[in-house]
Structure 1
Amino acid sequence: MSFRFFLLLHVQLCLFSQLPGEVLEKQAWEKTSPQSLEDLREIQSQLQSLLPEAEKSVVSIETGDGAGSGVIISPEGLVLTAAHVIGSTGKRMKVRLHDGKRLSAVSLGGSELSDAGMLQIKGRKDLPFAPISAKDLSSVGDWCFALGHPGGFDSRRGVIVRLGRIIGKKDETMQTDSRLLGGDSGGPLFDFEGKVIAIHSRVSTQPDQNFHIPIESFLANWDFFRDQSILTLESLAEGGFLGISCQESARGLLVIGVLEGTPAEKAGIHAGDLLTQMDGKFLSTRENLTISVSQKKPGELVRLTYERDGNLLSSEIKLGRRSEE
């Protein structure tokens, strides 16, 4: 090996060794807090670059007895919104696009538990839409921005934007300081990559009491909602019953409590077990489990797959009635 070749190789390796440092340098919105005026300008610039496309995907929903917001997430007009905005399945309504055009739509499914809802715009395949985030990519401290039509559609005002950060995230709820108002319900919360991470659910008079439905609630029950199925508190009471409480994890649902005398206890389910599947389908959220069980009748058999002390186990369980709780 010549000295010249060795020197060239050494220089290339030194340059390459610096690349990770450059790649890992955080953007202003990825830092714990802005460190300078330049950071604030960078955050502002990123928001301004994302808004034109994001705003086009936001719709105002006219239900006949009120108004809400939603976000188009496919060119065919699939819209994510809040369950309390659509009210029920198969309901005819109108939506207004960003340019004021009114289109017909029909409500699909949803959940009164998480407040997640879907509707479908009819007769279009060329609508502007927003991409949705994958599961578990948003966390407390992330910058975000809320869009919506508070008070209903206003052509002179357009879509309203509010900048904020995620200040809390639980299984079925995300909390931010992006101030929401009446009429925002069902509108989108975006991350700083321009992806939908949540849908507005509940508003408050307090500036930091803004609650949203995480995108995970939609992803876990996508087919259920698309099939015009809705989880109501009434159907929850009439469906099957296991008798466990869980918390979510990346690998499934961790059992934190088992009620005495319930089907779960009789089947030998213990606190500390990690539920991974029910009838062969992965359990990703508590709501996912609740919907799966509520679709069954008391007395029906289900098969739970779970991990305990590193071992994979499976139990067949006869569901009970919720009144047995």
Structure 2
Amino acid sequence: MLRSTTTFLIAIAIFASSVSAQETPPTVPESVQQMEQARIDAIAKGSRCAVGVFGPQSQGGGSGVVISPDGYALSNYHVVEGNGPFMKCSMNDGVLYDAVIVGIDPVGDVALIKLLGRDDFPYATMSDSDVVEQGDDCFAVGNPFLLATNFQPTVTWGIVSGNHRYQYPSGTLLEYADCIQTDAAINPGNSGGPLFNGDGNLIGINGRGSFEKRGRVNVGVGYAISINQIKLFLDYLKSGRIVDHATIGATVATDDQGEVRVSNILESSDAWRRGLRYDDKVTSFAGRSIRTVNQFKNVLGVFPKGYRVPLSFERDGESMQTMVRLTGVHSTEKLIEMIEGPAVEAADPTQEKPATSSHPHADWYEARRGFTNYRFNKLHREQVWQQSVAAMGDFSKVTNRWRLKGVDSRKKAVQMVLSDDKSGIEIGRKTWVLDPETELSDQVLPENTGGLLIALHLWRNFLILGPEKFGDVSYFGSAPLEPGDPKYQIVVATRGTVESNFFFDSDSGVLAAIEVFPELDSDPCLLRLTDYRQDQEISVPTTFEYSSGLNSGSIEIETLEFLK
């Protein structure tokens, strides 16, 4: 009996203990709770700035992400293609916003749009995608299969499966270079949406997945355009242009020993002028080691037209280093034709398309051949110019001839007289004068300078006339003059048959350099302007540093007179 009672009491105790255990939930370690909350916070942070992108009648669908408080947002070119200049964008605040196209990068599959109606949009923080490593947490936000009918985006979590991936061109344009691979689900409708790191900072724009052979569903292999590539193109996109990627003017292939060698090169390319030749072994490009053809294409594919980058190569065991200027993958007219179609003969390139005139935000769009939205080009061109006038003064008040005297780097006396149509320079006992009856491009003077006198002549006239009167002037974007330089705001101007780039300091607004191309297949004249001083309420440089190819020199200005 005692044994039976004892057994019964033990059973009751076990039951009571079991009930007590069920009533007391297990303790979750604080570190786990913190990790969970960090993930929730990161997703909330990323979701606030994600957008759904729709056509003007709310048809179709894709994704995007806002990157500035005034509403600039990134998406894919293939998402906005065919929508026309205006579209609709949803955000998780429950509002459907009007948006307008700004600029497109058809090769890189990127589009810049601008949401309208606010100047305090929530926006993403752009991270450094080069530090992303395999295994890092990441998540995609977007509108797959148009599920976000309540404007709340879909979130998929995963890891970075690989970085610096290369995807071959799709069709005739799209090429994904140096992209991020992820297993976070990316499905149709996610295109153009953000890929965030585990902290909720932007590392890429989702665009491609492995769908072709497996149906239109995700199989765990998606690709995002790296945000570092987009940073290089961002101001180019803000210019409202159709933006092109770069080529070195040469192709490479792998030889029998697995080395990357030049397989073809254009003699008109800057790489040829810098000494690169057929069968040279490419060892480094833009600061990155090159061991495969895909590595070379990866690095080349992230740059816009016009950048100058370092190149290292070997020939017969000798190592060589140089700087090469990248040109466009397509000619300007060819790229425009691929996007807009052939030019209509005798059509006015500034004529606005009538279909947009009745839109409530029609003033945000201006059509012009070669531009996605010319309004934004004029907007940024004017901003650069007004900052320059504020920094250097109003040169329209000094329209007389300018006479500058000084000494060059060889200690020779220099005198320049610059005017509207007839400018001249005297160095030592030699004099060169521009003939106003002859094309500027035929007067590359003095010899071996690439057109120093043309650069000085255009410098004066541009400052006096401004972008409205100088000629065909447009905002180009921002880029450094040399690797390691800060980015300058670039205005491109054509006067007669000569194209020039004017580089303005992004912070101060001062004109820092002029690059003049009298002959497009020859080395330009680069004229750097430094050591500014105040003279009659305007600021003028006292040092001119010029270079063209391997030739260079400088002029120190001692006096400047505005002649009657």
- Give the TM-score taking structure 1 as reference length: 0.67
Q: Which residue of 1 aligns with 2:249?
A: 242
Secondary structure of 1:140's counterpart equals coil
Aligned residue among 144, 151, 158 for 1:164: 158
Equivalent AA in structure 2 for residue 190 of structure 1: F
Q: Which residue of 1 aligns with 2:124?
A: 130
Q: Which residue of 2 aligns with 1:287?
A: 301
Aligned residue among 259, 263, 273 for 1:259: 263
Q: Which residue of 1 aligns with 2:205?
A: 199
How has the CA–CA distance of structure 1 residues 312 and 128 changed in structure 2, closer, same or farther, with 3 Å as cutoff? same
Q: Which residue of 2 aligns with 1:179?
A: 185
Residue-pair matches, total: 260
Superposed, 1:21-36 pairs within 5 Å as: none
Structure 1 residue 123, shift from structure 2 partner = 3.7
**Identity among equivalent pairs (%):** 24
Larger deviation: 100-109 or 150-159? 150-159
In 2, distance between residues paired with 1:96 and 1:190?
Answer: 19
Q: Which residue of 2 aligns with 1:57?
A: 49
Deviations for 1:241-287, whole angstroms, at most 9, x for unmatched residues?
702349xxxxxxxx94423353357443233254449xxxxxx9422
Which structure is larger by alpha-carbon Rg, 1 or 2? Answer: 2
How has the CA–CA distance of structure 1 residues 168 and 271 changed in structure 2, closer, same or farther, with 3 Å as cutoff? same
How has the CA–CA distance of structure 1 residues 132 and 318 changed in structure 2, closer, same or farther, with 3 Å as cutoff? closer
Q: Which residue of 1 aligns with 2:444?
A: none
Equivalent AA in structure 2 for residue 129 of structure 1: Y
Structure 1 residue 83, shift from structure 2 partner = 1.3
In 1, distance between residues paired with 2:70 and 2:44?
Answer: 20
Aligned residue among 63, 73, 76 for 2:70: 76
Note the aligned Cα RMSD (angstroms). Answer: 3.7
In 2, distance between residues paired with 1:129 and 1:318?
Answer: 33
Structure 1 residue 155, shift from structure 2 partner = 4.8
How has the CA–CA distance of structure 1 residues 40 and 162 changed in structure 2, closer, same or farther, with 3 Å as cutoff? farther
Structure 1 residue 115, shift from structure 2 partner = 1.6
Q: Which runs of 4 or more aligned residues in structure 1 lie more than 6 Å from their structure 2 counterparts after TM superposition? A: 37-40, 315-322
Larger deviation: 139-148 or 45-54? 45-54
Equivalent AA in structure 1 for residue 305 of structure 2: S
Structure 1 residue 303, shift from structure 2 partner = 7.2
Q: Which residue of 2 aligns with 1:299?
A: none
Structure 1 residue 119, shift from structure 2 partner = 0.8
Q: Which residue of 2 aligns with 1:121?
A: 115
In 2, distance between residues paired with 1:201 and 1:320?
Answer: 21
In 2, distance between residues paired with 1:123 and 1:88?
Answer: 23
Q: Which residue of 1 aligns with 2:241?
A: 229
In structure 2, runs of 5+ residues without a counterpart are 1-28, 166-176, 212-216, 254-258, 288-297, 332-564
Secondary structure of 1:161's counterpart equals strand
In 1, distance between residues paired with 2:128 and 2:148?
Answer: 32
In 1, distance between residues paired with 2:154 and 2:328?
Answer: 47
In structure 1, runs of 5+ residues without a counterpart are 1-36, 247-254, 278-283, 294-301
